[in-house]
Amino acid sequence: MFIEGKAVLFALSFKDPKLISSAIRDIHWDSTDIGTLVRQNTFNSSINGQLELKWRFVNALRTLRAHKRGAQVATEQTVMLPKEVLECDRFYWRRGLAPRKDHRAIGEGLRSAAICTQLLEDLQGVQNFFLLSITIDNAIPGDLLRRIRLFTEAGRPLPNVESTIFWLPMSFIESRLIKDVPPT
């Protein structure tokens, strides 16, 4: 289970990927200050961006398992990324939305580094992965949870997203922690 928590309401951290895609759709890449554009895109830091990145790591891990037994780096080179993912990921913008297939060490968009070999081997044996989001909401942000874009490693929408992504209120965790902490 991969966990992403934000100490704000889910809606305050959620970034609409369609707004980001539409903002870059007509950009002429050769004459644009890419640095300014990159700084304006905070999608990867949003709660849905972080959950999507974690799921993309899962897909990279699954293709590593299928294609490169014994490899020490999870990369998106073997994953089919849909255009809507590429449009929101500022790390692909520098390449005009084209993944570098010749890059052997670093996973595109994931900013991955070499992972501890033992951990990578342990994760390769895992069959089921889940995402847990934690926010200060008092009720499940169901509409926004359903808008998180998860894809298969073949680039198709993940079926049954509801059985993969979950939410927990921060108050649930706080109430459990406070019981165990002696007063100061």
- What is the mean pLDDT for each group of 10 consecutive residues in the chain (184 residues)? 96 91 73 69 89 92 70 74 84 62 45 55 85 97 93 92 94 82 64
Do residues 178 and 81 lie in contact, with contact meaning Cβ atoms separated by under 8 Å? no
Query: Domain coordinates of the chain in residue numbers?
Result: 2-180
What is the structure's pLDDT at 113?
42
Using alpha carbons, list the distances in angstroms from residue 120 to 5, 32, 103, 157: 23, 38, 19, 25
What is the structure's pLDDT at 111?
40
Q: Which of 125, 16, 157 is nearest to 61 (CA)?
A: 125
Do residues 112 and 76 lie in contact, with contact meaning Cβ atoms separated by under 8 Å? no
Do residues 3 and 134 lie in contact, with contact meaning Cβ atoms separated by under 8 Å? yes
What is the structure's pLDDT at 110?
41
Q: What is the pTM of this model?
A: 0.79
What is the structure's pLDDT at 77?
77
Using alpha carbons, list the distances in angstroms from residue 47 to 10, 31, 112, 162: 7, 31, 19, 16
| Dihedral sign of CA atoms 129, 135, 137, 143 in order | negative
Q: Which of 176, 150, 177 is nearest to 161 (CA)?
A: 150
pLDDT 10s digits, 44-56: 899 999 999 999 9
